[in-house]
Structure 1
Amino acid sequence: MKKYIFLLLVLFAFGCTEQKQPQKFMTYNLRYDNPNEGVNRWDARKSNVVDLIAKYSPDVFGTQEGLHHQLAYLDSALTDYSYVGVGRDDGKKKGEYCAVFYKPAKYDVVQQATFWLSETPEEISVGWDAVLERICTYLLLENKQSGERFYVFNTHFDHIGEQARQNSSKLIYSKITESNPENYPCVLMGDFNLTPETTAIQYLSTVLDETKSLAGENILGPQGSFNAFKHAEPVTDRIDYIFISKGDGKVNQFKIIDDQVDERYPSDHLPVFVEIEF
């Protein structure tokens, strides 16, 4: 009997110490479909975008700049994924999306929404000194196996308005806090059009954890994420980020992916990839 009880205790202890499965996240600015970009036009590189995403197989990835037909192509080619999102111009299908793709075999969508980065976030609007509509799309996912829930916010900051970028960072953090009374882990990703030393990124790095800072020695890839389609030059400008709510995750790997095909990048941004244990 003592031996039997001992074995039960061992099995129980093993079950309690079983490691959580890491989850893989990616943010990727696709570059909008501009047919005048020659060899870098969408039709010439879209299959390379799909191949890159399939190679790294993130559980969840966010895109920026994708137009509806670009996302429809990804959705049809990447059959393991579904996505949520709306066009920023009309809240439906017009304009660029900040879409979030996820694996429906692994997750259920509990909640989803989009807001505009402006003084009137529930309305289609241009905020502060921005020159274009800017949005943030988010969703609450539930792991079908474990029941674990977490939020993913995906955004694209304005490329001109400094006030807009600073206020957008504060607005997004307030939305994270407001939408999450249960304090589920939260991932914020996107193209912030800002380098690490800027005020808005410093603010977000204070209220959230920037995943590169948690990765220790497990950092791969170039320093920057914006390549401007210049395949032979160093990539030094880092403007794409993945953040996580403070104290909510262990980052096993951080990578800026600089894969090329025939000396060309699939987009003018490099995707940022992280592996996180909540």
Structure 2
Amino acid sequence: MTWNLLTETSVDAPPWSVRGPVVAAGVADLAPAVLGTQEGSRAMLDDLVSRLPQRYRWVGEGRGGEGHDEQGAVVYDTSALTLLDLRHRWLSSTPEVPGSMASDADLPRMLTAARFHDREAGSTFTVVCTHLDHLGVRARAEGAAIVAAEASDGPTVVLGDVNDPAEGSEAYRILTTSGLVDALAPRDRRSRRLGTFIGVDPDFEGGGRQIDWVLVTPDIAVSDAWVEAGPPGEAAPSDHRPVVADVVIGPQVASNQR
């Protein structure tokens, strides 16, 4: 599951103290094994996890380095998963330098890669959570290439706000031609490809664009995937909808659904 939580500094939305409990209720209802978030501060993420069942924890890094700024965060269920490794890379020409930026990026952008062991399935896999730049066209393309390279070693799920529409952008082309599979690409799921950038106005009627994605390597089977629409007529707790996928990871998986 991936969800851009909307920064706590937004002046166009209620404060996190109002939105946080709604986000937490939505996450608890879906009960994901893994949630990738964007735009969350340390305080927001600590608060979110405090409202979830005790089995959840989060790991991540601030995009400015040393915990500063919004976090590239992965929330996970410790009752199902054991964290084996954690690494952070910045989407720039110097990926190992905290806070570094692509040439036309507006802000530092990064990825967080968390490697897990699924105790029930007996398998290991990596989750890559990212947030590409909202202004830099070149930055999004270069960032997508770095993400694709990070997803090239074993079963991997990529979660993120890519700030580009699915099926109609260079970032999408780069990621899908690298071998990653869009969880919403199969024909029987097309009707679930709702816009994810929707604003927080309960009267918003536009479809928005699906700029938040779940992608997987071909050795992961996707049994279902959808954009979570939320209750109609209620103010959304974020200006993004979450994207959810049910996946199967293990030696029994021969190929992905297409």
TM-score, normalized by the shorter chain, greater than 0.5? yes
Secondary structure, aligned partner of 1:243: strand
Name the residue aligned to 2:72: 98
2:193 and 2:210 in contact (8 A); partners too: no
**Post-superposition offset of 1:230:** 3.0
- 1:198-237 alignment to 2 at 5 Å? 198-207=169-178, 208-214=180-186, 216-218=187-189, 221=192, 223-232=194-203, 233-237=205-209
**Post-superposition offset of 1:203:** 1.6
- TM-score of the aligned structures, taking structure 2 as reference length: 0.89
**Post-superposition offset of 1:221:** 4.3
Name the residue aligned to 1:86: 61
Alignment of 1:194 onto 2:164: yes
User: Which protein has the larger Cα radius of gyration, Structure 1 or Structure 2?
Assistant: 1
- 1:91-240 alignment to 2 at 5 Å? 91-124=65-98, 125-177=100-152, 180=153, 184-196=154-166, 197-207=168-178, 208-214=180-186, 216-218=187-189, 221=192, 223-232=194-203, 233-240=205-212
Alignment of 1:253 onto 2:224: yes
**Post-superposition offset of 1:260:** 3.4
1:255 and 1:272 in contact (8 A); partners too: yes
1:221 and 1:258 in contact (8 A); partners too: no
State the distance in 2 between where 1:225 and 1:32 align: 16
Match of 2:3 among 28, 47, 56: 28
1:219 and 1:253 in contact (8 A); partners too: no
Name the residue aligned to 2:253: none
Name the residue aligned to 1:22: none
State the distance in 2 between where 1:237 and 1:167 align: 21
Partner deviation per Cα, 1:14-68 (whole Å, 9 max, x = no partner): xxxxxxxxxxxx0000001026335x32222110000000011111110000011
Identity %: 30
1:35 and 1:42 in contact (8 A); partners too: no
Alignment of 1:66 onto 2:40: yes
Name the residue aligned to 1:57: 31
Secondary structure, aligned partner of 1:172: helix
Secondary structure, aligned partner of 2:151: helix
State the distance in 2 between where 1:145 and 1:252 align: 18
State the distance in 1 between where 2:124 and 2:63 align: 27
2:202 and 2:233 in contact (8 A); partners too: no
1:48 and 1:261 in contact (8 A); partners too: no
Name the residue aligned to 1:77: 51
State the distance in 1 between where 2:56 and 2:232 align: 23
Runs of 4+ in 1 over 6 A off after TM superposition: none
State the distance in 2 between where 1:105 and 1:135 align: 28
1:222 and 1:235 in contact (8 A); partners too: no
1:254 and 1:275 in contact (8 A); partners too: yes
Contiguous gaps of at least 5 residues in structure 2: 250-258
**Post-superposition offset of 1:80:** 2.3
The structure carrying a bigger helix percent of its residues is 1
Secondary structure, aligned partner of 1:72: helix
Q: CA RMSD in A?
A: 1.7
Partner deviation per Cα, 1:66-124 (whole Å, 9 max, x = no partner): 011001101211122111101111x2221001201111111111111111000000002
Mean CA deviation greater in 222-231 or 130-139: 222-231
Name the residue aligned to 1:17: none
Secondary structure, aligned partner of 1:98: strand
- TM-score of the aligned structures, taking structure 1 as reference length: 0.83
